[in-house]
Amino acid sequence: MKIAIGADHAGYRLKDVVVPFLESLGHTIEDVGCDCADSVDYPDYSIPVCEMVTSGKVDRGILICGTGIGMSIAANKYKGIRCALVHDAFTAKATREHNDTNVLAMGERVIGPGVAMDIIQIWLDTSFSGNERHQNRINKVTAIESQS
Q: Which residue, 59, 56, 148, is CA-closest to 96?
A: 59
Which is the catalytic residue, given 50, 65, 83, 87?
Answer: 65
Which is the catalytic residue, given 27, 34, 50, 98?
Answer: 98
Q: How many residues does the chain have?
A: 148
Is 36 catalytic? The answer is: no
Which CA distances in Å does 77 have to 17, 62, 71, 85, 147?
27, 15, 10, 14, 13
CA distance 118 to 34: 23
Ramachandran area for residue 65 (φ above 0: left; ψ -120 to 50: alpha; else beta): beta
Active site (catalytic) residues: 65, 98
